[in-house]
Amino acid sequence: MSSKGRKRVVLPTRPGPPTVEEILEDVRSAQPSDPVFVLLVESSKDGPTLGDKEDSEEKREQLYWQSHSYVEMNQRLQKACSLLREKCEALKQAGVTLEENVMDVKEKAL
C-alpha cells in the first residue's frame, strides 16, 4: 500500500508532569523491592569502599540497561498487540464479506 493510502495516526497529547503530591504518593506506594530502593540500601551498607563503589556502579549500570531493555520490549509488544488487533478486525470484516458473497452466489445459482 502506498504511503498516501495509509491513514495518519493522531497521537494523544502528552500529559502534564506529575505534581509534588503525586510524586510523593508514588514514592510512598512503591514496594520495598523497587530497584531504586534496593540500590539505595545496597549503597549504604557497611560504608562504601573503592571496590564496592565500582561494583555498585556496575550493578546500577546493569540494572539500568535491564530496565531499558524491558521498557523497549514492552513498547514492541504493545505495538505488536495493536497490530494484531487491527489484523483481527480486518479478518473479521473479510469473513463477513466472504459470507455475504457466498450467500449472493447461492441465491444466484438457484
> What is the value of pTM for the model shown?
0.42
The pLDDT-based confidence of 40 (bands split at 50, 70, 90) is low
In angstroms, the CA 79 to CA 101 distance is 33
Over 60: is that where the pLDDT of 2 sits?
no
All 3 cell numbers of residue 3?
Answer: 504511503
Contact 56, 43 (CB under 8 A): yes
Over 70: is that where the pLDDT of 3 sits?
no
In angstroms, the CA 94 to CA 64 distance is 45
| b/e per residue 37-58 (b: at least 16 CB within 10 A) | eeeeeeeeeeeeeeeeeeebee
